[in-house]
Amino acid sequence: MSTKQITALGIIFLYMIVTIVLGLTVSKMKAAKAGKQSNEDFLMASKSLGPVVLAGTLFAANTGGASTTGIATNVYTYGLSACWYVIAAGIGFVLVSFIAPYFRKAQASTVPQIIEKRYGKASHIFTAFTSIAALFMATGAQIIATASIINVVTGLDFNIAAVVITIVVIIYTMVGGFQSVAAANLMHVLFITVGMTIAMLVMVTGNGVGGFGALFDRAAAMTDANGASLDLLSMTKIGATTIIGYIAMYVMTFPTGQEIVQTYCSAKDGKSAKLGSLIAGILSAIYAIVPAVIGLVAYTCIDGYATGAQKNALADATMQFAPAVVAGIVLAAVVAATMSSASGNMIGTATMFTNDVFRPYINKGQADDKKEIWISRVIMVIVGAVGLFVALTASNIISVMMGAFALRSAGPFAAFICGLFYKNVTQRAGFISIVTGTIVAAIWIYGLGTPWDLSAMVPGGIVAFVVIFVGSALDRKAGVEPAPPIEFEED
């Protein structure tokens, strides 16, 4: 390895060590103050997060491999409009902020628990297992991103790098729990936003690129093998259909994604949940352009690079155009993003399994903190192992994430919203809606190949809403009583 590679790798490893030490220190301090650690303390941070920490945790949980290396990769295909993937997330956080307080007031820890309150056991079980499966896929996407960086920096085989990073994330997460992750996320947010922004500016203004003017001039002149313009500066190339699909995806997946809902449920009150969501939304929308510009640097300034979408675009541009220390910082920021997202996925899966499978169906409804914490840690290892398998068999991060989001959210979203705000919904209609929406989303992705690049959550969600309203009307006409309403606690 070159001196630059060694320096960058050293900074990445140092950052990972600091992350682990910070998280474990805060976790132990909290546990010492509270005495014996319960499973809720371990997985839900004792429901004590204020708006700032909550915003940082939301942002870090959502800003993973797809929002960093994935955007940089997709600049070849969509130009700067690739950043709409994260701008849409910001819009999603803002819109979801209006219902965020209901998550905290629902007296639940998981999406399936909230679903069960209105629709019963069948809906509960189905939602739990589709959500768990989706988090397996999402964890794999984060491993892909991190392993790609290690591969570029060190030349280490991608598969070996994937195994190493999986082990590190498992240890970090299973030892410290959600309090550990939440504490480290504030540092992650600083590095992801400030660190990567500074690195982008250093790269663009350096001699290798020559400033924004030179970068944009080169980008405007880029053509493909046939001489057609690549249109790398476009903010609309991705298409209105895809943008609408992204926004719909986030608006639907945030209220039904365990790693996000768990963060809302960990707020100290409903106001903190709402404000934290607003802050996370604004931060996401502002940050979105940063990885896109770094991707633009790769495709316009690395000779012979623009022959197709390159999955290591962000890391390659950073290593070539940033000084060693800056390269280490920006790559550490990406590692921070992927680690925080992978950790959130692991904790979300563990929470759902212990609360929605182990306690009600295996342990006969009996709470046992010691046993549940042990089970949670075992599940984290399993999630890491399955995520590693996904990482070794897939390559496009955003495609993996889109599939995961669609399968977990297309069905439950309509039932979730109606469960909160529609008093006349029935249990049977809710269950049929959840199953139907999920099946439509799966067919849209794996059977039809995602026509028009429209997220599967749009057709899946539309069908689910039609089914739940029509089904509830038919049930009530037949004399079936509406499902019992959810009882919300006061702040």
**pLDDT tens track for 386-399:** 888 888 886 566 67
The reported pLDDT for the residue numbered 14 is 87
Rounded to an integer, what distance in angstroms lies between the CA atom of residue 89 and that of residue 216?
Answer: 26
pLDDT higher at 106 or 362: 362
Retrieve residue 289's tokens.
Answer: 């352009």
| pLDDT of 31 above 60 | no
Mean pLDDT of 298-302: 94
- Residue linked to tokens 């988090």: 135
* Cβ 254 vs Cβ 260: under 8 Å: yes
The reported pLDDT for the residue numbered 295 is 94
| pLDDT of 328 above 80 | yes
Which amino acid, 342?
Answer: A
pLDDT higher at 174 or 58: 58
Question: What is the tens place of the pLDDT at every residue in 248-272?
Answer: 889 988 888 777 887 887 888 888 9
| pLDDT of 217 above 90 | yes
pLDDT higher at 41 or 205: 205
| pLDDT of 23 above 70 | no
The reported pLDDT for the residue numbered 179 is 60
**Tally of CB atoms within 10 A around 14:** 12
The reported pLDDT for the residue numbered 37 is 52
Measure the CA angle with vertex 139, ends 47 and 81; round to 5°. 100
Mean pLDDT (the chain) is: 84
Question: What is the tens place of the pLDDT at every residue in 373-419?
Answer: 888 888 888 988 988 888 888 656 667 777 777 878 888 999 988 98
Lowest mean pLDDT across 20-24, 27-31, 414-418 = 27-31
| pLDDT of 227 above 60 | yes
| pLDDT of 284 above 90 | yes
* Cβ 260 vs Cβ 64: under 8 Å: no
Indicate the pLDDT class of residue 44, thresholds 50, 70 and 90. Answer: very low
The reported pLDDT for the residue numbered 43 is 45
Indicate the pLDDT class of residue 479, thresholds 50, 70 and 90. Answer: very high
Mean pLDDT of 314-324: 90
Distance of CA 240 to the CA centre of its chain: 23
pLDDT higher at 66 or 375: 375
Biggest distance spanned by C-alpha atoms of the chain = 76
Indicate the pLDDT class of residue 180, thresholds 50, 70 and 90. Answer: low
- What lies within 8 Å, CB to CB, of 174 at 6+ separation is 346, 376, 377, 380, 381
| pLDDT of 40 above 90 | no
29-33, 225-229, 237-241 — which one is most confidently predicted on average? Answer: 237-241
Question: What is the tens place of the pLDDT at every residue in 99-151?
Answer: 888 876 766 667 788 888 889 989 988 988 888 888 888 888 778 878 887 88
The reported pLDDT for the residue numbered 462 is 94
**Tally of CB atoms within 10 A around 6:** 14
| pLDDT of 473 above 50 | yes
The reported pLDDT for the residue numbered 45 is 45
Indicate the pLDDT class of residue 235, thresholds 50, 70 and 90. Answer: very high
Phi, psi of 229 (to 5 degrees): -65, 140
Domains of the chain plus CATH, in order, are 3-409 (1.20.1730.10), 411-491 (no CATH)
DSSP code at position 206: S
With pLDDT > 70 as the criterion, what percentage of the chain qualifies? 90
| pLDDT of 201 above 90 | yes
With pLDDT > 90 as the criterion, what percentage of the chain qualifies? 30
Rounded to an integer, what distance in angstroms lies between the CA atom of residue 53 and that of residue 186?
Answer: 7
The reported pLDDT for the residue numbered 58 is 87
**Tally of CB atoms within 10 A around 1:** 12
155-169, 293-307, 347-361, 370-384 — which one is most confidently predicted on average? Answer: 293-307
DSSP code at position 360: I
